[in-house]
A and B are shown apart, each in its own frame.
Chain A
Amino acid sequence: MNRHSSASFLLSVCVLTGLVLVAIFAPFVAPYSPTDVLAAPFAMPNADNLLGTDALGRDLLSRTIYGLRYTLGIATFVTVVACALGVVLAIMAAVRKGWLDMVIGRGVDSVMAIPQIIFALIVLAVAGISLTTLVCTMIVLEATLFFRILRASAGDIAAMDFIEVARLRGEKLPWYIFREILPNLAPTLIAEFGIRFAYASLFISALSFLGVGIQPPEADLGGLVRENALAISIGRTAPLVPAFVIAAIAVAANGIVDWFVHKYSIRSELGQ
């Protein structure tokens, strides 16, 4: 482990922890309500409004802090549920094989054949935009990606003799999942979770930017970029603030993932 990568890991952990704490304690941290109109539109940063104001004169800092809540909250929830779903389906497919593997595998293939964002736009257009639809759509899409990676890794593990030993003993599915395969999947799972979390944050931001995500007056970070996009043409920094926070989330999540991947690859080289 070199000093550079452990420094970037610590920085990533600090950034992400900081953002999570700010999101959790938003009402105490934010100076104003996110919906109060306080000053002129697109005011420059000043003592009252540290990051200036948005298109309607609301405090940009407060709106960003509340927007962070949506982005992180949805990304976390979606990633956790999608991960659980992906793990169970992947291990089931890897252990049982046969028709079950075929059905799940081909189903996932068909979902993955359609570009994610277009798939989401179609579903949201048909089913109507609501937080529930949004979250469910994202879960389905993310779960397919979890499945794809984990099915491959679980397949390698399921081919090992200790899985045959479990079969000879007549074990049931939960034992395979939680006792035999999942502990061996941990390194892959942690890395994949981090990457998927970063992508989920970007995905919800992208959907909101396109206007099908979180609806006004509420806004997540992507929605904030959209609301304030016009300001860039009159020389204001308003849209850059939420954009920068989105970038910070993605970079920090990847920094943590890199560290785990590095750590486990060294351990497996040493055969531990």
Chain B
Amino acid sequence: MSFLEIENLLVKAGDKTLLSNISVRMEKGEVLGLIGESGAGKSTLGLASIGFLRPGCRVASGEVRLMGQSLLAMSQEELRQLRQRKVAYVAQSAAAAFNPFYRLEDQVTELRALQKQVSRPERRDIACSLFERLQLPDPEKFCRKYPHQVSGGQLQRAMIAMALLNDPELIVFDEPTTALDVTTQMEVLRVIRHVISEQQCAAIYVSHDLAVISQISDRIVVLRNGEIVEQDETRRIIEQPAQDYTRALVAHRKVGEFAGQPPEANAVIEARSLDLGYGANKVVSNVDLQIACGEIVALVGESGSGKTTVARSIAGLLPPRAGTISMNGKKLADNIDHRADDIRRRIQFIHQLPDVALNPRQTVRTALSRPLRKFLKLSGPSLQDRLNALMDEVELSRELLDRYPGALSGGQKQRVCIARCLAAEPDILICDEVTSALDALVEDSILKLLWRLQQQRDIGILFITHNLGVTRRFAHSVVIMERGKIVEQGSTEDVFADPKQDYTKRLLASEPTTRRGWLDDQLAAKV
């Protein structure tokens, strides 16, 4: 008998099948990685293994046995007992999972309060010792804080502390580092690794990041559309994937796919000594930036480094406090409202989240027609021809023209956003983390699309990202920002081969890879 046995599990929501034909076994002390793109059913499976289904979902057939007991046959009360004592769950976004009105000590030890075994001072001691185990700074003070007073990485660790409260035998980690920067992710991964080995518990680790999962787990289950593509030991999945889908997942990080020399051209957009800020906060100081025709410039930094602020300023959405932005040598108005239509046309901006960048009540046709009518004065048959050509260009079926955004996938929506910018026939495309909300393979296809368009149309691209892997493969030159200042810039090759600044080195080292032992090496280097 295995520690956890899932047999032929079929989970449905209404008529829709979320998981089918799932059979997984895991032993005590093992770490199982679940990987797949969004909608693959990995969170559903993670939750099902601790006997929880989201509202509206039901198990149509199959069996889930934990330590020999069938979870599906348990009553609500039995399940509650199980969840209080034996299993724990760490949610994806700690920021959304904590109640902003309660102190961390109270939330982390809430289960003990439910069991009515301990007094408040005792609960504080418990919280303190947990926070200490997770190496949070100054546990005594940390206890008293509210969720908004601590950083994202600290909050995620507090959530792991909550999971450890009752010494569980199985912990489900649901994308615990997805929302974090690489250096913060490293901290959290270190803690997770430490906790799992110290606790000697089993863990299920859900992620869409193959590199992270390969570092943490002993075995990997690859999911797609609610079915298992393959499952095996981590090493075998990484080194000899048996299925095409897994091969694509493993292969997508290859460098050199977007090979090409940066063009020798004059700068189209030039920002000089920009100082930017919101209200009393100065966010960016003294930033210089140039983008030439046909050049891809990556602006890299962690959250809060000011990279998006710079992009917004160039787009005219945030007038600079000091400094100038010029196009082909001519100074641009600071505020987009004062720029001429032709300038508006030539600088296009793609937002991070296609879900909110498209009006849910406008069809794709309306969204794409508007820039064509406004900037190019097209109408009638020539407008329709152009619409069809745009859809072909971003590799979307023409039938999607009359759909609303709600009926499109995340990748399709981002393609529509790209098409909307292309419609204006821009010189410069500002891409603000355009792939960070997308799965690895979808991200890859969007990058390919951008790269092809840049080649064909000779567009300059300012590519804002926190993802170094993407930068290395995609950009001609790279600008690295830390706390509102540029710390290093140069051609991608030079910067990656020989980083000059400590921050750049640290950033490069924190980027996870699928290489065996990477995490151990990093942890060893830290100590």
Contact = CB atoms under 8 A, between A and B. Distances in A.
Interface of A: 160-162, 164-165, 167-170, 179-180, 183-184, 186, 271-272
Contacts of A186: 361
Nearest to B359: A162
B208 interface: no
Contacts of A165: 349, 351, 357, 420
Nearest to B349: A168
Contacts of A162: 356-359
* B: contact size bracket: 20 to 34
Contacts of B353: 161
A148 to B, nearest CB: 23
Contact of B344 (A161, A164, A170, A272): A170
Contact of A272 (B337, B357, B375, B406): B406
B346 to A, nearest CB: 12
A151 to B, nearest CB: 19
9 nearest A-B pairs in the assembled complex, by CB-CB distance: A183-B361, A161-B357, A162-B359, A161-B351, A161-B356, A160-B356, A170-B344, A184-B361, A162-B357
B361 A168 contact: no
Contacts of B370: 169
Interface of B: 315-317, 336-337, 339, 341, 344, 348-349, 351, 353, 356-362, 366, 370-371, 374-375, 406, 420
A63 to B, nearest CB: 46
Given A168-B348, A169-B370, A184-B360, 16 more contacts: A160-B356, A162-B358, A162-B359, A164-B351, A167-B317, A167-B337, A168-B315, A168-B336, A169-B371, A170-B337, A170-B339, A179-B362, A183-B359, A184-B361, A271-B406, A272-B406
Q: Which of A161, A167, A183, A184 has the most CB of B within 10 A?
A: A161
Contacts of A183: 359, 361-362
Given A183-B361, A183-B362, A164 B406 contact: no
B362 A164 contact: no
Contacts of A179: 359, 362, 366
A190 to B, nearest CB: 14
Contacts of B356: 160-162
A268 to B, nearest CB: 10
A183 B359 CA distance: 9
Nearest to B351: A161
Contacts of B362: 179-180, 183
20 contacts: A161-B351, A161-B353, A162-B357, A164-B317, A164-B351, A168-B316, A168-B317, A168-B344, A168-B348, A169-B344, A169-B370, A169-B375, A170-B336, A170-B337, A170-B344, A179-B359, A180-B362, A183-B359, A184-B359, A186-B361
B161 to A, nearest CB: 33
Contacts of B361: 183-184, 186
A165 B375 CA distance: 14
Contact of B336 (A167, A180, A184): A167
A183 B316 CA distance: 27
Contacts of B360: 184
A170 B370 CA distance: 11
A186 B360 CA distance: 12
Contacts of A160: 356, 359
A169 B358 CA distance: 14
Q: Which of B344, B356, B359, B362 has the most CB of A within 10 A?
A: B359
A98 to B, nearest CB: 12
Contacts of B315: 168
A23 to B, nearest CB: 34
Contacts of A271: 406
A151 B344 CA distance: 29
Nearest to A165: B357
Q: Which of A162, A183, A272 has the most CB of B within 10 A?
A: A162
B135 to A, nearest CB: 38
A180 B336 CA distance: 19
Q: Which of A160, A183, A184, A186 has the most CB of B within 10 A?
A: A160
B149 to A, nearest CB: 25
A184 B361 CA distance: 6
A169 B339 CA distance: 10
Nearest to B344: A170
Q: Which of A165, A179, A186 has the most CB of B within 10 A?
A: A165
Contact of A170 (B341, B351, B420): B341
Nearest to A184: B361
A167 B349 CA distance: 11
A180 B420 CA distance: 15
A164 B312 CA distance: 11
A140 to B, nearest CB: 30
Contacts of A168: 315-317, 336, 344, 348-349
A180 B351 CA distance: 17
Contacts of B366: 179
A53 to B, nearest CB: 54
Contacts of A180: 359, 362
Nearest to B348: A168
B462 to A, nearest CB: 14
Q: Which of B344, B351, B361 has the most CB of A within 10 A?
A: B361
A246 to B, nearest CB: 36
A271 B362 CA distance: 16
B311 to A, nearest CB: 12
A186 B337 CA distance: 28
Nearest to B345: A169
A160 B357 CA distance: 7
B57 to A, nearest CB: 14
Contacts of B316: 168
A265 to B, nearest CB: 15
B342 to A, nearest CB: 10
A169 B366 CA distance: 14
B374 A169 contact: yes
A162 B356 CA distance: 6
Nearest to A162: B359
Contacts of B351: 161, 164-165
Nearest to A167: B336
Nearest to B405: A162
A271 B408 CA distance: 12
B366 to A, nearest CB: 8
A170 B316 CA distance: 11
